[in-house]
Chain A
Amino acid sequence: MADKVLMKGNEAIAEAAIKAGCRHYFGYPITPQTEVAAYMAKRMPKIGGTFLQAESEIAAINMVYGVASAGLRVMTSSSSPGISLKGEGISYLAGADLPALVVNVQRGGPGLGGIQPSQSDYFQSTRGGGHGDYHMIVLAPSSVQEMAALTVKGFELADKYRMTAMVLADGTMGQMMEPVSLDFEVTPPPEKPWATTGTEMKRKHNIVNSLSLVPEELEKLNIARFERYELVKQNETMYEEYMMDDAEIAIAAFGIAARVSKNAVNEARKMGIKAGLIRPITLWPFPDAPFKKAATHVKEIISVELNMGQMIEDVRLASECKVKVSLCNRVGGMIPSPEQVLDAIVKASK
Chain B
Amino acid sequence: MSTKQFLFSGFGGQGILFAGKFIAYKGLIEEKQVSWLPSYGPEMRGGTASCSVIVSDDPVGSPIVTYPDVLVAMNLPSLDRFEEKVAPGGMIFLDSSLIERDVVRKDVKVFPIPATKLAGENGFPTLANMIIVGKILKELGEYNDEGLKAALAKVISAKHADMMEVNRKAIDLGASL
Contacts and interface: CB of A to CB of B under 8 A. Distances in A.
Contacts of A339: 66
Interface in B67-111: none
By DSSP majority rule, is chain B's interface helix, strand, loop, or mixed?
A: mixed
B31 A1 contact: yes
Given A176-B63, A178-B34, A260-B64, A6 B25 contact: yes
B37 interface: yes
B29 to A, nearest CB: 8
A6 B28 contact: yes
Nearest to A171: B40
A92 to B, nearest CB: 33
Given A6-B25, A31-B40, A115-B42, A176 B35 contact: yes
A180 to B, nearest CB: 10
Interface residues of B, number: 22
A263 B34 CA distance: 15
Nearest to A179: B28
Q: Which of A1, A177, A179 has the most C-beta atoms of chain B within 10 angstroms of its own C-beta?
A: A177
Contacts of B61: 259-260, 262-263, 266, 338
Contacts of A176: 35-38, 63
B28 A1 contact: yes
A336 to B, nearest CB: 9
A175 B40 CA distance: 8
Kindly state the interface size class of chain A when it binds its partner. 20 to 34
Contact of B34 (A6, A115, A262, A266): A6
A177 B62 contact: no
B152 interface: no
Interface in A309-342: 335, 337-339
A115 B41 contact: yes
A177 B36 contact: yes
A4 interface: yes
A259 B64 CA distance: 10
B162 to A, nearest CB: 22
Interface of A: 1, 4, 6, 31-32, 115, 171-172, 175-179, 256, 259-260, 262-263, 266, 335, 337-339
14 contacts: A6-B21, A115-B40, A175-B40, A177-B36, A178-B60, A179-B34, A259-B60, A259-B61, A259-B62, A259-B63, A263-B61, A266-B61, A337-B66, A338-B62
Given A176-B36, A178-B34, A335-B64, 9 more contacts: A32-B40, A175-B40, A176-B37, A176-B63, A177-B35, A177-B37, A260-B62, A337-B66, A339-B66
